[in-house]
C-alpha cells in the first residue's frame, strides 16, 4: 500500500483557491473591496514569503463564513467552482491524480485552505480523502472560528498523523509515501515522506529541491 499526498493551491490547481475565494466574494459584492482586497493581497504575499501568521489569516478568512447561512454559501461556492476553479484544473494535474488512483494508492489532498472551500474541489479530482483546515461549526452553520489544528506547515504533519491513527495506520503502514507541493511552507511534510516532489516550486523550495536531488515538475 502506497500513500500519495497532494497539496492543492498552485500544485494541483493553477492558482490559489484560498486567495481566489476572497476575491470572488469581493467581485460579487459580498465583501467590501476597499476593506478586504488589500488585506487579501497582503496575506497572500506573506504566505508566499513564509511569514504568514495562520491564526491572523484564519480570522480574516473564516469570519465572513459566519455572516451568511450555509445554503447561501453553498450557492456561491457552486458559482465559484464554475467560474474560478474549473479553469485552474489542468489536464496534467488530472493525469497525475489518475495515475496514483489507478495504481491503487491511498490519495489525500492535504491543504491549509479551509475544508468548505476545498471539499468540492477534492470531489472534482475524484479524491476521497481531504485534510484541510476545518472551520468551526454549530448546528451546521459556521461560527467564524477554527476547529482543531490548522493544516499548515508542521500542522500538516500533526493532522496527517491524526488522520492515519484514526484508520489504524501510521507511516510504517505504507511501502512508499509521496508528497507533491509548490511551497516552502510544506518543507516539514516534504522532508517527512520517502518521495518529496516539488511542483512549480517557489524559489526557496526550488533551491532546496535541487540541493536535495528531489524531482521538480513544471507543467
> Mind telling me the catalytic residues?
7, 9
- Residues 130 and 57: their CA atoms lie apart, in Å, by 21
β-sheet with 195-199: strand ranges across:
141-147, 129-138, 106-114, 2-6, 176-181, 195-199, 216-217
Closest C-alpha among 147, 150, 152, 217 to residue 182: 217
3-state secondary structure of 33: helix
Q: Which long-range contacts (CB under 8 A, 24 or more apart) does 196-201 make?
A: 199/7, 199/10, 199/11, 200/10, 200/11
- What are the angstrom distances between the C-alpha of 68 and each of 13, 100, 141, 200? 27, 38, 9, 36
Which value, to the nearest 10 degrees, does the dihedral of the CA atoms of residues 33, 136, 59, 31 take?
A: 10
Amino acid at each position: 500500500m502506497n500513500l500519495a499526498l497532494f497539496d492543492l493551491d498552485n500544485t494541483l490547481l493553477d492558482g490559489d483557491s484560498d486567495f481566489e475565494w476572497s476575491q470572488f466574494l469581493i467581485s460579487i459584492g459580498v465583501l467590501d473591496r476597499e476593506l478586504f482586497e488589500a488585506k487579501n493581497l497582503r496575506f497572500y504575499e506573506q504566505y508566499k514569503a513564509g511569514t504568514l501568521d495562520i491564526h491572523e489569516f484564519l480570522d480574516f478568512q473564516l469570519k465572513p463564513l459566519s455572516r451568511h447561512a450555509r445554503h447561501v454559501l453553498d450557492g456561491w461556492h457552486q458559482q465559484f467552482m464554475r467560474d474560478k476553479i474549473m479553469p485552474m484544473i489542468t489536464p496534467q494535474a488530472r493525469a497525475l491524480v489518475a495515475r496514483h488512483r489507478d495504481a491503487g494508492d491511498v490519495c489525500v489532498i492535504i491543504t491549509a485552505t479551509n475544508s468548505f472551500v476545498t471539499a468540492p474541489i477534492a470531489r472534482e479530482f475524484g479524491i476521497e480523502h481531504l485534510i484541510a483546515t476545518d472551520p468551526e461549526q454549530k448546528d451546521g452553520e459556521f461560527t467564524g472560528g477554527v476547529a482543531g489544528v490548522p493544516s499548515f506547515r508542521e500542522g500538516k504533519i500533526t493532522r496527517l498523523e491524526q488522520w492515519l491513527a484514526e484508520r489504524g495506520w501510521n507511516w510504517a503502514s505504507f511501502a512508499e509515501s509521496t508528497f507533491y507541493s509548490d511551497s516552502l511552507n510544506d518543507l516539514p511534510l516534504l522532508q517527512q515522506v520517502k518521495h518529496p516532489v516539488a511542483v512549480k516550486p517557489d524559489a526557496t523550495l526550488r533551491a532546496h529541491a535541487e540541493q536535495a536531488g528531489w524531482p521538480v515538475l513544471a507543467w
